[in-house]
Structure 1
């Protein structure tokens, strides 16, 4: 299962949710959902905008996690 690393990468760069939302022109509510649920179903355009703001390749925002390591509350 793919896990979003948006929160991890943003925090490494010293960026919080509000600033990421503002610079990427993505609603705060959407950023908040991605931040709180790393298994959130985000669109490619959203991830591309976030990657551009964080100045990383889009692939750095994704991590492949074995299904048995996904917390129960995030399993589909």
Structure 2
């Protein structure tokens, strides 16, 4: 499903959906998570990944570096 279609189906802003794809470690409300899961027709637990804090921090730094380089 495209970002555009997911945005329409979930009723979540295209820009918010795009930011989630760019930075999957972005903080999200349970409302947004629920709307996305509902649009994808999957349980919320299917779109949430349990990541150790150290790994999440490494990924955040990598993403931040990539975004600053853009």
TM-score (structure 2 length as normaliser) = 0.77
Q: Is the CA contact 1:26–1:46 (under 8 Å) kept in the aligned structure 2?
A: yes
Q: Which has the bigger relative contact order, CA under 8 A and spacing at least 6?
A: 1
Within the candidate set 18, 24, 28, 2:4 is matched to 18
Residue in 1 that maps onto 2:62: 73
Structure 1 stretches of 4+ with a deviation exceeding 2 A read 67-70, 72-75
Residue in 2 that maps onto 1:52: 38
Is residue 62 of structure 1 aligned with residue 45 of structure 2? no
Cα offset, 1:74, TM superposition: 5.1
- RMSD of the alignment, in Å? 1.6
State the alpha-carbon separation in 1 of the partners of residues 62 and 43 from structure 2.
Answer: 28
Structure 1: segments with no counterpart, 5+ residues: 1-14
Higher percent of residues as helix: 2
**Number of positions where the alignment pairs a residue of Structure 1 with one of Structure 2:** 61
Find the structure with the greater CA-based Rg: 2
